[in-house]
Structure 1
């Protein structure tokens, strides 16, 4: 019996306290002024009665409406929210304001106006009605602070409403792969690139779960991924090329990995959404794709221009090469310069063209080793006699070199040996540089 009386008494006290609070709040809103440190958004309404606070807030919000700057961001596109779609509710803001505290601005965003805007700016992205409500509510929440400008990521509120799509793909034909490369492809498969995350290819490929890979295998897989990344808005942080053209990778799309030099392939996802890499080897090819929320633009990288540079032929002479023979110590390789551009288009209409890279691979010169030539000494003697007996000799020295198969004699005459360099009909030239062969003996000649 007593417990019931106590319970009723406590309940009565709670009701009285609530009624008193309501009465005080009502009395406060009718006549009392707001206490110190009372803010609505960034606006100070301290020591103002409700009527005064309303007038001040109306002026402040009118000015805020004039400088309203709300940027709506969807992946790789940004556009502005028209000020007329936003309305500030002054009465509701003051009705919910607490004296002596920071209070939000009550804002409403026109659903119909937002729907029209999104259908115009994102015609290929289907956004359902409930998703539009979510975006509008998100904008209203962001605007409660009254701080401008405001950047609102649409994907924060509609990520679950927009299905993932393949945004980049590449393929590399290869007959077979090593067990280590197979592990690397498996490690790359289903890998998620989080929002604003940076990715290092070398870090992945040198992890314990992959195992030892050659630089060539790393470069092959890295270049395949680079080709797919170029079809997105990902930011390339580091990318390198080899010193010579790869026989397997198209110039312009190489992303070389060199463990000794620390050359890596790195990129960053600048979007507010995650992306997943799909990788597999099947039917004699490495298949790779990047999946995530679709972009506004279509990114298409292409080779805009390719130039080739013929290698020179460097002729060297050696006493260890038999007469009538030519030893090719290094085969020539054509040099290449490849220019890569990328177009950004919407529904097939090109909006922008940007330069991506200009890759240059220097030509590798062909080196031929010829036998030393025996010089007719009678010709040399005749030339010397003419110089001695000619009273109009200008005093300059004239040198000739006789090739020999004697290493000891070669050592003393090597500095005067002859070499020729030719390039598709180029002129021959005498060069006095000494080059040594693998045995340590001097080989005359040099290239330019």
Structure 2
């Protein structure tokens, strides 16, 4: 009898130890304390429901949740994921739920189990590839975080796992520096939004969209200065220029042909495409009275050289006439300025090949010199003017420039010319 009692006691202890030996992590994941309001799947209360009812309430919850897309954000980079691409395995989830909620025979003293489990979500390579395109993110950790939130039908905003951003400062792709114009107001409002901006492979960059938050805090001079300096830097990379607008006047803060003008009212933007396989990071900072814009990355495959060819266009001289100016007077109305034809070319070399790209061809018209002259003419000498025999300076005016006076002295009608015969004697008519 004692032996049977000892064997029974040993069996009970083994069962108890086996129960305690179950994985602690699994218990913490699926079992709740006795004070909860019932079991849930993905946050949906399914306590006391049969499998068909569970499937119905879960499907309703999924349909509501999928009405909004998922926003993945990290390192100032955003990605929109279409929630309709996700596939939820509700039947498998219900099967797992029933298995977990059922009490094992050796835990007969336990109360009814309360568990909280996620929905099963099928692996989605398409979404994973979208995440992988953002080189600044850790693909696996970001994707797993997304699936984890989706499986519990949680918030649609997912925080991406960002890699160490200092790695993208190791290689300088471009550098542009220029003194800040005196009429540029508060460029710091734009610089703070540009600094640290990551441009991923196959991503388009828009200047207006990037600085739109502070675009009304600066003036046009500041807007055009910062955009022009950024354009100077982009020219030194392989990035494809999608949109750029030249100035109507010769720029002073950057080299002619390398400026980029922004006009928000007519949506004139600076846009470019990162058509490479590496991430480009924009670094913008102040150095005294200068602004410095860099584009860096973790690698550099090719060398880029930018050339600017200028053709000088001389101004013309334009004359205008006015009757308000005194005779022989003239007045300078406008100074003449040279114009230019400018061609910007980019040469990309690497991997044993060289590619030449014509980036832009700009025309800056010359400013013509304008001179205002008097339209007054000297008064003609009257035919009835008596000949006094005195010198008249008006008789010596040379208007046609042939070196001779232009005004002929009229001959009086009563002064007949003298006629001579063959012998030289005068003949009276």
Give TM-score scaled by structure 1 length: 0.45
Give TM-score scaled by structure 2 length: 0.47
